[in-house]
Chain A
Amino acid sequence: MKKEELYARMEKAIIEGRKSEAEDLAREAVKAKFDLTEVIEKGYVPGIQKVGDLWEKGDYFLPELITSAECMKAAMAILQPELDKAKIQTRSKGKVVIGTIEGDIHDIGKNLVASMLSANGFDVVDLGADVKLEKFIEKAEETKADFICLSALLTTTMLGQKKAIELLKQKNLYGKFKVLVGGAPANQKWADEIGADGYAENAMLAVKLARRLMGA
């Protein structure tokens, strides 16, 4: 298959959310020894970008968005080990440590944000739900993260977002990571009040916000 045709099919597989096809095409690219960074940039990334456009136009809803993000993840799971083997550094859009705060087991919103960030080229470490505040910071230090993303659905756990920032200040780490907050009770005012670097209303806006903060 010609490169251009392969890229077009990759893009289509992502847009239409066909996982096994996205995986097969990735394998094909590996077998044909194509330049995998180019494969990602010209094959898959345009797909997920179109998905974002379709979302913004109002054609795509969450099920399409998430299915496409998962296709992207599946394709990357095949390509990434090959890139690692060849010691090729892909340009990460940014490193993210994300989780739902201790005491809160709601993780749909967090999962949406993690999926969309990951599909859009961010390195995402998902700590899951009910995560201790110290753990966020430890992991962020360990992975040299750019972002700490704190999710909370409850008003009780929302206070954890504030505490996390206080904890960063105590440890003299405030400003080292960009702290993003989200979840039903959070809003921009709250983010400003507690000294967070940003708040986003939904997963797509979270991607935009993260891109903007990375200067992209």
Chain B
Amino acid sequence: MIKTIRPKLELLSRRFIEKIIDEAYEILDKQGIFVENKEALKLFSQAGMKVDKKTHRVYLKRRLVEKCLATAPAVIKLYDRTGEREYAVGGDEVHFDPGSAAVTILDHKMGEERKPETRDLVAFCRLTECLDNIHFQSTGLISSDVPHPIADIYRLLIGLVYSRKPVVTGTFRVESFRPMKDMLAAVRGGDKELAAKPLAIFDACPSPPLKWSNLTTQSLIDAARAGLPSELISMGMTGATSLVTISGTLVQHVAENLCGVAIVQLAKKGAPVIFGGSPSSFDMRRGTTPMGAIETMMIDAGYAQIGKYLNLPTHANMGLSDAKINDAQAGLETGLGAVLGALAGVNVISGPGMLDFESCQSLEKLVIDDEICGMAYRLISGIAQREEPIATDKFEGFTPETQFLSMPHTKKWYRMEHSYPVIADRDTYDAWVAQGRKPIAERASEHVEKILRSNAPALLDKDVRNELTRILAAYAKTHGIATLPSLP
């Protein structure tokens, strides 16, 4: 049997990758990088790096970073809420998760963006739980009916209660990490158990150019010590917060991420860390950051290739769109991103459901995107030989009347070789008219309703649920919030 090729997208030659990395190292060494966190500066200082405590500037030596890279795991194992299902994050594995931390939701009935409420977040988590091609969930919406100091923790609570999938999340405040970690540990049954079977990834974004803020650095340190993976989300905007050239942006991206890897490894040797990002091509006309730009996707595929060269798991924000409604632009940008990200072998691809520059989630888009992700998975599974011989035996005794439809060969392979979308329109024109000429958003909305109606919530065990609520309530109290919003 001939081996199936895993189709792959590579935009950089080996020499180009090495040059980008060399220049990143040179910048870290000669210009340094800002790290606005005392503990991290201390760690760097103890590792023998030159640290300017006044300006928070640290000059990183290549040998230290290379030592840190050597202890960072190439593959990370994530586990779902039950602890039974394992997901490998590394190699060319691809896992999609919904775009995270949207501040609005596209209300299908109103046809407008509005502020999300807890009921939307619950629907979002329940829907994510039911979508086969979305492997992880994300704390995708920020509920507006929840007091701000607990908003980041509350969305994690909802995610854990309503979905089994591993969670991609992050902190809004330094002090939020502890209760968030405690909740995850409560689900697992202890800190050790959580470290052995991580249930969540914590996103941490450097501030371009070349700066790690106190909040995000602390998140790296805290997550490393809890044994939870951090995702480094470097996000240069070409010509605005990084060089305008794609290659120049890659140099800065690599420098920022290398510093992140070093912080994680110095905090705890061997701690899991993902080489990720959310950079974008900066629109010089409008001052916006289009995630659907082909150049944005090129930067993503480029740094992912470099991350792989460094032997680290990778992440990108792809498979999302800047469109404001579920129109052709939403589909084309999402489709391009999901397919290119999958071809580039990006391990964690965050984006499905997202519209309007990473600010708006749409339930309808999420189900459409699930189908897109399914297509991307099909593509990277490649063309397989399946049988030996491929065809000659099937043509034995061939006549003009030979029926393919009734061949056992057909029945054996048709579901594995081909996919059958439920939302994309494959009807004849007349059938489409007869069904009411529905545009895709309409069909998607019906599908959302159907999923939510026909699937009971994958509720977390009641005792654990109460424990999570207790953790959140205790934390809320320290912020002067006496009562929690009740779960729907």
Q: A109-B287, A156-B172 are in contact. List 12 more A-B contacts (CB 8 A).
A: A61-B284, A61-B285, A62-B240, A62-B284, A62-B285, A62-B287, A63-B284, A108-B237, A108-B241, A156-B148, A185-B359, A202-B287
B287 touches A112 (CB 8 A): yes
A185 & B287 in contact (Cβ 8 Å cutoff): no
Nearest-neighbour CB distance to chain A for B338, whole angstroms, equals 24
Tell yes or no: A173 within 8 A of B by CB: no
Please determine whether A185 and B103 come into contact, CB atoms closer than 8 angstroms: yes
Which residues of chain A are within 8 angstroms of B286 by Cβ–Cβ distance? 202
The interface residues of chain B lying within 8 Å CB-to-CB of A156 are 148, 172
Contact residues on B (Cβ < 8 Å of other chain), bracket: 10 to 19
Main secondary structure of the interface of B (DSSP, over half): loop
B359 contacts across to A, CB distance below 8 A: 184-185
Return A116 CB to nearest CB of chain B, in Å.
Answer: 11
A58's closest neighbor in chain B, by CB? B285
Chain A contact residues, CB within 8 Å of chain B: 58, 61-63, 105-106, 108-109, 112, 155-156, 159, 184-185, 202-203
**Which B residues lie within 8 Å of A185 (CB)?**
103, 359
Q: Which residue of B lies closest to A202 (CB)?
A: B287
B284→A184 contact, CB < 8 A: no
Whether B142 sits at the interface, judged by CB under 8 Å, is yes
List the A side residues contacting B37 at CB < 8 Å: none
B274 CB to nearest A CB, Å: 23
Q: Please give me the residue from chain B that is nearest to A111 by CB atom.
A: B240
- Asked if A184 and B213 make an inter-chain contact with CB atoms under 8 angstroms apart, the answer reads no
Of A61, A109, A203, most buried by chain B (CB within 10 Å of CB) is: A61
Q: Which residues of B contact A (CB under 8 A)?
A: 103, 142, 148, 172, 207, 211, 213, 237, 239-241, 284-287, 357, 359
Closest to A60 in B: B285
What are 13 pairs between A and B in contact, CB < 8 Å? A62-B239, A62-B240, A62-B285, A63-B239, A63-B284, A105-B213, A108-B240, A108-B287, A109-B287, A112-B287, A155-B103, A159-B148, A203-B287
Could you tell me the distance between the alpha carbons of A109 and B288 in the complex, rounded to whole angstroms? 10
* Residues of chain B within 8 A of A58, CB atoms compared: 285
The residue in chain A whose Cβ has the minimal distance to the Cβ of B115 is A155
Given contacts A184-B357, A184-B359, A185-B103, contact A155 B284 (CB under 8 A): no
Bound Cα distance A159, B285 (Å) = 28
Closest CB-CB distance, B354 to chain A, in whole Å?
14
A155 CA to B141 CA in the complex, in Å? 12
Top 4 closest pairs, chain A to chain B, by CB: A61-B284, A155-B103, A62-B284, A61-B285
A202 to B286, CA, bound (A): 8
Q: Which interface residue of B213, B241, B286, B287 has the most chain A CB atoms within 10 A?
A: B287
A65 — nearest CB in chain B belongs to which residue? B284
A184 contact set on B, CB distance < 8 A = 357, 359
Residues of A contacting B241 in the complex (Cβ-Cβ under 8 angstroms):
108
Select from chain B the residue with minimum beta-carbon distance to A154. B172
Which of B239, B284, B357 counts the most chain A CB atoms within 10 A? B284
For A158, the closest partner residue in chain B by CB is B103
* Interchain CA distance A106-B287 in the complex, whole Å: 13
Alpha-carbon separation in the docked complex, A105 to B208 (Å):
10
A20 vs B197: C-alpha distance when bound (angstroms): 61
Complex alpha-carbon distance, A20 and B175, angstroms: 49
CB-defined contacts of B103 to chain A, threshold 8 Å: 155, 185
On chain A, the residues within 8 Å of B240 by CB distance are 62, 108
The smallest beta-carbon distance between A75 and chain B, in angstroms, is 24
Residue of A nearest to B284 (CB): A61
A125→B142 CA distance, assembly (Å): 34
Least Cβ–Cβ distance between B485 and chain A, in angstroms: 17
Contact status A155-B239, CB under 8 Å: no
Q: Which residues of B contact A112 (CB under 8 A)?
A: 287
Q: Which of A106, A108, A112 has the most CB of B within 10 A?
A: A108
A63, A112, A155, A159: residue with the most chain B Cβ atoms closer than 10 Å: A155
